[in-house]
């Protein structure tokens, strides 16, 4: 089926951000639970204290973020072909809007963590499909982490493109790996030509 929408992750996908998630998890003592779920399960005052720690790391990383090379060209291709573009991020609205504005990026729909819909659940992807009136077969996901893959799998989006050089991390999945945005752009260009 024709591709009509690409749903992007933000951190590590659209922008390079210097997060050390292992260090953050240790400091927050998340015990293997996804961070946002873990923080919301805590009682006060620990809950507020640990949210502040996460937000401090996020603010710092966001300020240091750099747009991935080739991202404007990739997004321009999609715009030219009439493909919708969405962002689904577990980051905050404040940080997401800061980055999109800073790098002058336009998207048709943006879901941040304030929605309460968080990856690795597929719920935020379902929300994008509902809002933009799309079927799962018409969507593709671009991400950089196993959370993106799990969320896509949960809702049956089968075209998942991962920007990563770490083949081992995705060895048990059937996603397509790309080591640059430019390589992904070329693949999407080919795909779009085929389905025109
Ligand atoms: Mg990411």
DSSP 8-46: EP-BTTTEE----HHHHHHHHT-TTS-HHHHHHHSPTTH
Ligand 1 centroid – CA 52 distance (Å): 20
Q: Which residues pair with 7 in a beta bridge?
A: 86, 141
> Mind listing the pLDDT tens digit for each residue in 39-78?
999 999 999 999 999 999 999 999 999 999 999 999 999 9
* Portions of the chain given CATH number 3.40.50.1000: 5-16+67-194
Cα(187) to ligand 1 centroid in Å equals 20
pTM for the full predicted model: 0.94
Distance from chain centroid for Cα 70: 17
Distance in Å, CA 14 to ligand 1 centroid: 8
pLDDT of residue 37: 92
Ligand 1: centre distance to CA 152 (Å):
13
Which pLDDT score, from 0 to 100, does residue 174 have? 84
Residue 49 alpha carbon to ligand 1 centre in Å: 24
The alpha carbon of 143 and the centre of ligand 1 are apart by a number of angstroms equal to 6
Low-confidence ranges of the chain (pLDDT < 50): none
Contact predicate 19/11, CB 8 Å: yes
- Residue count of the chain: 196
C-alpha 164 – ligand 1 centre gap (Å):
10
Q: 3-class DSSP state for residue 193?
A: helix
**Superfamily of segment(s) 5-16+67-194:** HAD superfamily/HAD-like (3.40.50.1000)
Question: According to the model, what pLDDT value does residue 88 have?
Answer: 98
Residue 156 zone, left/alpha/beta (φ > 0; ψ -120 to 50; rest): left
Cα dihedral: 181, 6, 11, 131 (round 10): 170
Q: Cα dihedral sign for 36, 91, 134, 77? A: negative
CA of 17 to the centre of ligand 1 (A): 9
Cα(196) to centroid(ligand 1), Å: 30
Question: What's the pLDDT score for residue 183?
Answer: 97
Cα–Cα distance between 149 and 151 in angstroms, integer? 5
Q: Which of 9, 128, 131 is nearest to 71 (CA)?
A: 9
Distance 157 CA to ligand 1 centre (A): 17
């Amino acid at each position: 089926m024709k591709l009509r929408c690409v749903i992007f992750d933000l951190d590590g996908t659209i922008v390079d951000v210097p997060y050390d998630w292992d260090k953050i998890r240790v400091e927050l003592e998340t015990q293997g639970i996804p961070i946002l779920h873990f923080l919301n399960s805590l009682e006060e005052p620990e809950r507020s204290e640990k949210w502040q720690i996460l937000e401090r790391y996020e603010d710092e990383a966001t300020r240091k973020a750099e747009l991935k090379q080739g991202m404007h060209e990739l997004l321009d291709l999609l715009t030219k072909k009439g493909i919708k573009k969405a962002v689904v991020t577990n980051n905050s609205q404040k940080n997401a809007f800061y980055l999109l504005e800073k790098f002058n990026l336009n998207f048709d729909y943006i879901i941040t963590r304030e929605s309460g819909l968080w990856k690795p659940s597929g719920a935020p992807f379902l929300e994008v499909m509902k809002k933009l009136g799309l079927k799962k077969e018409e969507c593709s996901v671009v991400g950089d982490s196993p959370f993106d893959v799990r969320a896509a799998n949960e809702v049956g989006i089968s075209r998942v493109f991962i920007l990563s050089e770490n083949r081992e991390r995705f060895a048990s999945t059937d996603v397509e790996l790309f080591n640059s945005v430019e390589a992904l752009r070329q693949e999407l260009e080919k795909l779009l030509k085929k389905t025109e």
